[in-house]
Amino acid sequence: TKVSYTGRASVDVAQIKRRLMPGIKELEELRFITAIPEKDRFTKDSAGVWQVHFERYVEAPAEAPPQQVLEMKVEDVSVLEGRLIGHGVSKSQARRFVSEFDDDRIETQLEALEFLLAKGGDKAPVNRGGWLSKAITENYGPPKGFKTRAQLEQEAHERAETLRKKEELRRKKKLAEEERLADEKAREEANTRKVEAYLASLTPQERERVENDAVKDSPFNMARVGSAFRAAIIQGHVLRLLAQLAAEPDEE
């Protein structure tokens, strides 16, 4: 809040300040207004107007006490110890088992217990910790139908490998069939070119004679076959003819 005074120049400003200050101090002590230096309380602007500044006192938020650090002592336990403890085996006994027996033996009995619990029924141990302690100490045999995680992983690996081999065999068969068809197509195209080249080398009369011979030698009724089948018969006849010519010795 600002209070302005624009009175006559003859007014003694210093005297006014002295009269105001006791009341201002009292308000500051009562925490009704914020305490500030006198030079900031009374200011004079460029127009020669004196201003008195007041600001309502506001309580500063109390600082929160430092958070207390709680120290907790945590014992290091191995994974196997943790699993044993989780099934009710005491910490000291779990540590003793891990130190006395090999990991595979403990792991197998843990998995056997979890198998029985998952299966349920009368054979599911009620006292898990007690059952585990005896199973590890006496080295129980596997329950009926139980397989260790290692066995299950091995079986899964074998199934995957069998599937992979079948897929590889199928892929190879498909590739071989594609190659066979490609070779067959290439041979057919080569034979077609050979036949066309041979027929093109003949005179019209010679070509007609060759085609008639092919039709005559065919066991099929040519009146009932299409043009494509007729062309195939002629091609086969010409190929046999070319093979015979190739087999004949060259005349000297």
**Predicted pLDDT of residue 27:** 83
**Predicted pLDDT of residue 72:** 63
Alpha-carbon distance of 171 to 176, in angstroms, equals: 9
For each of the chain's 252 residues, which pLDDT tens digit applies? Answer: 544 455 444 557 788 888 888 888 888 888 888 888 888 888 887 777 788 888 888 877 767 677 776 676 656 888 999 999 999 999 999 999 999 999 999 999 999 999 999 988 888 899 999 999 999 999 999 999 988 888 889 999 999 999 999 999 999 999 999 999 999 999 988 988 988 898 888 898 988 888 888 777 776 655 555 677 778 888 888 888 888 888 877 654
Q: What is the pLDDT of residues 7-65, one digit of tens each?
A: 444 557 788 888 888 888 888 888 888 888 888 888 887 777 788 888 888 877 767 67
**Predicted pLDDT of residue 113:** 93
Report which DSSP code applies to 8: -
**Predicted pLDDT of residue 105:** 93
**Predicted pLDDT of residue 163:** 94
Three-state secondary structure readout of 89-118: CCHHHHHHHHHHCCHHHHHHHHHHHHHHHH
Nearest to 136 by CA among 172, 182, 88: 88
- Give the bridge partners for 3, in sequence order: 52
Vertex 176: Cα angle to 173 and 181 (nearest 5) = 125
Under 8 Å between Cβ of 146 and 115: yes
Instruction: Break the chain into its structural domains and give their ranges.
Output: 2-53, 79-138, 168-247
pTM of structure: 0.43
- DSSP annotation string for 143-179: PTT---HHHHHHHHHHHHHHHHHHHHHHHHHHHHHHH
| Residue showing tokens 């006198």 | 38
Alpha-carbon distance of 47 to 45, in angstroms, equals: 5
